[in-house]
Amino acid sequence: MAAWSLFSSDIAIDLGTANTLIWAKGRGIVLNEPSVVAYERNSRQLIALGHEAQAMIGKTHRDIRVIRPLKDGVIADFEIAESMLRAFIRRVSTGALPPRRVIVCVPVGITEVEKRAVRDSAEQAGAKDVYLLAEPMAAAIGVGIDVHEPTGNMIVDIGGGTTEIAVIALSGIVAEESVRVAGDEMTNAIIQYFRRQHNMLIGERTAETIKCQIGSAVPLEEEYEIEVRGRNLVTGIPQMIRVTSEEIR
C-alpha cells in the first residue's frame, strides 16, 4: 500500500446530474466540468465530454449523440457514465496509477441498485476502494459545520437533478428527503415560459445562462436584464428580446 501511495492519490467525486467536480488530496478542486458526453451512435465511442461536449448540444449530425449519462442524480446510462468517469479520473491523475481510494457523493434517496451502479462505475474506472457519502453530509462538511456536535443542522442542497434535504447531528443523518425536482426543472420551466409567452424557442444552454445570470427566488434591490436570442416559432427566423430578472422570477 505504501508503494501504491507514491504513484496515486485519494480523490473525492461529486458526480452530479449537471456537473461533475473532482477534489484531489493536497490539490483541492482539480476538475469542474458539465456531466455531458458526446459519442458516436453506432460504436458508442466517446468523442468529447465536459465543456467541449456541452458546446456541441444542438449542433451535431445524426451519427453523434450528446447526452447526460445521469438523470435525477443517478446513473441512467451505465456504459457512458463509466467512460465519462474514467476519462475524468484519467484527466486529473498525476501518478502512474489510478487513485486507490475514491469517495463518491450520492443522493440520500437512491436505491441499493443505484448505489451499486455508482460503485461499479468508479471501480471500472480504476478505483480500488470506493466509498459512498450522502450529498447533504458532504455539503455540511464542505461549509464548515461541525457534524460531530449534538446539535441539529438542516442542509438543503439543490443540484441539477435532485434537491437533498437532511438534518444532521452526531455524525449522522437524523432525517432526510430527496426530491427529484431541482435545477433541471427550473431550466426546463424557462424554456417552456419562452414558448408560451414569447413564441420563442431557446436551447438548454441559453435557458441555463438565463437561470444563472438573472434568476432569483425573491425580489432584488436592483433587477437585472439580459439579452436573449432564439428562434421565433411563428416565422421561423432568429429573434432577440430583452428580459428582466423580475419576469423570470
Q: Residue 13: pLDDT above 60?
A: yes
Cβ pair 53, 69 in contact under 8 A: no
Which band of pLDDT confidence, cut at 50, 70 and 90, is reported for residue 217?
Answer: confident
Same fold flag, 144-179 and 183-248: no
Question: First and final CA of the chain: distance in angstroms?
Answer: 54
Q: Residue 144: pLDDT above 90?
A: yes
Per cent of the chain over pLDDT 70 is 95
pLDDT digits (tens, 9 = 90+) for 17-55: 889 999 998 889 999 999 999 999 999 899 999 999 998
Cβ pair 243, 215 in contact under 8 A: no
Residue 95's pLDDT is 64
Residue 229's pLDDT is 95
**Interatomic CA distance for residues 42 and 168, integer angstroms:** 46
Q: Residue 122: pLDDT above 50?
A: yes
This prediction's pTM: 0.80
Residue 79's pLDDT is 86
pLDDT digits (tens, 9 = 90+) for 68-120: 998 877 788 888 888 898 889 888 877 656 677 899 998 887 788 888 888 88
CATH C-level class of 144-179:
alpha beta
Q: Report whether CATH 3.90.640.10 matches the domain 183-248.
A: yes
Residue 103's pLDDT is 93
Per the structure block, which three cell numbers stand in for 246?
A: 423580475
Residue 201's pLDDT is 95
Per the structure block, which three cell numbers stand in for 196?
A: 408560451
Name the CATH topology of 2-138.
Nucleotidyltransferase; domain 5 (3.30.420)
Q: Residue 167: pLDDT above 50?
A: yes
Q: Which helix (H) or strand (E) holds 238?
A: strand 238-244
Q: Residue 5: pLDDT above 70?
A: no
Mean pLDDT over each residue of the chain, to the nearest integer: 88
Q: Provide the 3-class DSSP secondary structure of residue 121.
A: helix
Residue 174: which of 151, 158, 146, 156 has the closest Cα? 151
Q: Where are the domains of the chain?
A: 2-138, 144-179, 183-248
